């Protein structure tokens, strides 16, 4: 086995090489050996300078996340940075691949930095509820300026090499980073220079603009503590001694590391990886994708595919619809180009990947076809029948259905093993979640292909079984009912939305409904009306709103009035809510935010337990992934199942029993939830996140 860290002599330059596959993570063993190598370099009489490099496919990609759950101890990343900072000989970082988190902190502690053209840097710690804890919040502002550092650290975004050079993070972009780093290290030694970022003065900053940015970060965080703490640490660079600021940064890091939010976000990190993990089967190649239906969803899917470099053919029912779909897609790309997010060359390349047609015969040579038409089983079956006569027998056929039974679509094609669901979320080119719905006869290779495709188009996949609404919409339907009950009992739509946004949801359900279009849910309720339990409490408010032709933002009215891009309380909706209470014979009373939040969480968890027992979801963490990435559940709470564990399943079960006593049918406690409480276990015990 190769050494984790070794020091090689290349003439008068010492090259410290980290070799810790797959991503050269800064494990405690790597840190210990790295400090030892820096000291050995300092003591070697024949070496005048050093280069910090990595073998494999990347520079240091960050810390070993598994160590955050262990008690702190041993050599820290701060110790590594101190050793580099105080080296009597200049050391230059040779960066390529990803230099993230602790990897970027180590590079910033070197005396210069060279990066490969395709390299990226960043501080993604906020995504797991942390902040850079080894001087990152203090060194970065000294090279980029405080405002740029504030944005980078609190967003966690990856910064490409060109931007890293322009902002001063690196000193040079070079194809052969080791050779360029050795040349630069030798030049520093020749000049007897030891430039240290810690000694640089902070570039001038507009304090008013900085303070405004701080306030915006706190508002956008929606209860997440890491961005606000990271911002506070960056602010210390403006007026706090470097060493004192380092101590405060480290203390803040330790508080976050042991806090509930970071544990929840680390759970989500592991959950995302587990959900996306490929199956044993080999995926089929996908180069050309067909899409049937060019509405909002179909156009968004086409954009997602073209962005990934896939050839896309979109089919619509006629010339007018085809031209509308093309215009819809062009508008998105034109907007991206105008904002500077897309270069002229990239804009042209994206459009070159797209073609449009009015006949499914144009899909003859596709590898995958995604149907994205109206949510009607007869219409979808007709599309699948026609596709079955046109495409190759190994072409995968997928439906973007939100609710319908995929097996009924597989029934009408000649090779049902190639059929599955690909449930995108709107807007499809923006939202990360992709529910991959495994039909009863879906071949393992087809499922593996869908997972590989999700990775290629940068989606977060979750495999689901077949039931009405799959994982996400099935759970959404039950917790939305609790919100509707709150309306009848005494709340108003804006009060329910405010309660859930206070909980950390990205948007409340009524604001989301107006955004998505209330007619979609109305069609679903009418489809299920014949199968609804007559004893189940049913709230008709949404139906009444739709009967008036008010479908949300697109009609200017829904649960809210929409005026000048603002939501305004609609007195007519208030009257409908009060009418519903009166018709049920309920005396309206104030409903607290905590009551709404508690019932919504309990509804999610109880239905999630039923989904697990039925095998619709493979593990509780998959439910967390769906609700966080598709439905705005706060990631810093770790999803509903993780949150339930934190609250205590006994307390959740008591709320469910209370809901059942009040509302009856549909709210029976899930046997799995009762079993876990009785055996003193939690949902985490059912996860397999290795």
Residues annotated as catalytic (active site), given as ranges: 105, 125
Tokens of 432: 């990360």
What is the rounded distance in angstroms from the CA atom of residue 251 to the CA atom of residue 556?
A: 50
Question: Which contacts (CB < 8 Å, 24+ apart) does range 658-661 have?
Answer: 659/482, 659/599, 659/602, 659/603
What is the rounded distance in angstroms from the CA atom of residue 479 to the CA atom of residue 173?
A: 52
Report the side by side order of strands in the sheet with 112-115: 5-10, 13-18, 49-54, 91-95, 112-115, 172-173
User: How many other C-beta atoms can be found within 10 angstroms of the C-beta atom of residue 376?
Assistant: 13
Q: Where is 313: in which H helix or E strand?
A: strand 311-315
Closest C-alpha to 61, from 28, 24, 29: 24
| DSSP assignments along 163-208, one per residue | HHHHTTS-SEE-SSHHHHHHHHHHHHHHTT----GGGSPPPP--HH
> What sections of 308-399 are H helices per DSSP?
319-339, 344-352, 377-388
DSSP character at residue 69: G
List Cα–Cα distances, 385 to 298, 360, 371, 391, 393, in angstroms: 19, 11, 12, 11, 13
Report the side by side order of strands in the sheet with 158-160: 98-100, 120-122, 158-160
**5 within 8 A of 19, measured Cβ to Cβ:** yes
Closest C-alpha to 262, from 154, 131, 151, 157: 131
- Give every CB contact of residue 473 below 8 A, 6+ residues apart in sequence: 402, 403
| DSSP assignments along 462-495, one per residue | EEE--STTTTHHHHHHHHHHHHHHHHHHT--HHH
Give the CB-side neighbour count of residue 577, counting CA atoms within 13 A. Answer: 26
- Coil/strand/helix, residue 113: strand
Phi/psi of residue 443, each to 5°?
A: -70, 145
């Amino acid at each position: 086995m190769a050494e984790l860290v070794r020091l090689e002599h290349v003439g008068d330059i010492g090259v410290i090489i980290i070799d810790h596959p797959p991503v050269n993570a800064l494990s405690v063993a790597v840190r210990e050996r790295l400090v030892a190598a820096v000291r050995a370099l300092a003591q070697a009489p024949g070496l005048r300078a050093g280069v910090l490099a990595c073998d494999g496919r990347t520079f240091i990609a960050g810390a070993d996340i598994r160590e955050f759950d262990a008690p702190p101890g041993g050599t820290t990343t701060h110790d590594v940075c101190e050793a580099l900072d105080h080296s009597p000989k200049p050391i230059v970082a040779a960066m390529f691949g990803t230099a993230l988190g602790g990897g970027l902190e180590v590079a910033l502690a070197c005396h210069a930095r060279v990066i490969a053209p395709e390299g990226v840097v960043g501080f993604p710690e906020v995504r797991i509820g942390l902040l850079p804890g080894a001087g990152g919040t203090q060194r970065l502002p000294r090279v980029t300026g405080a405002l740029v550092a504030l944005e980078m650290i609190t967003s966690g975004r990856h910064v490409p090499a060109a931007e890293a050079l322009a902002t001063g993070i690196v000193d040079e972009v070079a194809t052969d980073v080791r050779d360029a780093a050795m040349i630069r290290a030798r030049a520093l030694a020749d000049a007897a220079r030891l430039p240290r970022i810690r000694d640089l003065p902070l570039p001038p900053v507009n304090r008013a603009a900085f303070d405004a940015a701080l306030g915006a970060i706190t508002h956008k965080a929606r209860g997440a503590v890491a961005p606000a703490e990271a911002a506070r640490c960056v602010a210390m660079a403006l007026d706090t001694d470097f060493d004192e600021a380092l101590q405060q940064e480290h203390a803040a890091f330790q508080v976050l590391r042991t806090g509930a939010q970071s544990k929840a976000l680390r759970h989500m990190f592991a959950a995302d990886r587990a959900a996306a993990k490929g199956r044993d089967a080999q995926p089929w190649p996908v180069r050309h994708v067909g899409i049937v239906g060019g509405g909002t969803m179909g156009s968004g899917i086409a954009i997602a595919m073209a962005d990934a470099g896939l050839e896309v053919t979109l089919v619509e029912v006629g010339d007018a619809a085809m031209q509308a779909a093309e215009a819809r897609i062009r508008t998105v790309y034109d907007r991206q180009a105008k904002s500077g997010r897309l270069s002229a060359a990239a804009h042209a390349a994206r459009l070159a990947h797209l073609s449009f047609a009015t006949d499914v015969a144009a899909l003859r040579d596709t590898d995958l076809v995604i149907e994205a038409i109206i949510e009607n089983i007869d219409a979808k079956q007709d599309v699948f029948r026609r596709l079955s006569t046109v495409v190759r027998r190994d072409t995968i056929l997928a439906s973007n259905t939100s609710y319908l039974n995929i097996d009924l679509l597989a029934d009408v094609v000649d090779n049902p093993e190639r059929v599955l669901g690909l449930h995108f979320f709107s807007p499809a080119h923006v939202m990360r979640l992709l529910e991959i719905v495994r039909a009863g006869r879906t071949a393992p290779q087809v499922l593996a292909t869908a997972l590989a495709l999700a990775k290629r188009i940068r989606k977060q996949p979750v495999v689901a079984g077949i039931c009405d609404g799959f994982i996400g919409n099935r759970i959404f339907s039950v917790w939305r009912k609790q919100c509707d009950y709150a309306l009848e009992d005494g709340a108003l739509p804006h009060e329910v939305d405010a309660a859930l946004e206070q909980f950390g949801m990205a948007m409340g359900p009524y604001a989301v409904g107006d955004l998505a279009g209330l007619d979609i849910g109305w069609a679903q309720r009418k489809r299920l009306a014949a199968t609804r339990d007559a004893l189940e409490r049913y709230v008709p408010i949404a139906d009444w709103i739709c009967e008036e032709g008010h479908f949300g933002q697109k009609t200017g009215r829904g649960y809210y009035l929409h005026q000048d891009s603002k939501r305004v309380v609609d007195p007519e909706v208030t009257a409908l809510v009060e009418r519903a209470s009166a018709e049920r014979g309920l005396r309206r009373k104030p409903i607290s935010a905590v009551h709404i939040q508690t019932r919504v969480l309990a509804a999610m968890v109880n239905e999630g337990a039923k989904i697990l027992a039925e095998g619709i979801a493979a593990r509780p963490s998959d439910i967390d992934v769906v609700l966080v990435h598709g439905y705005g559940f706060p990631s810093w709470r770790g999803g509903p199942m993780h949150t339930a564990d934190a609250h205590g399943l006994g307390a959740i079960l008591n709320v469910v029993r209370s809901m059942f006593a009040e509302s009856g049918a549909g709210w029976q406690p899930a046997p799995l939830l009762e079993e876990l409480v009785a055996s003193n276990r939690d949902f985490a015990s059912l996860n397999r996140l290795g």
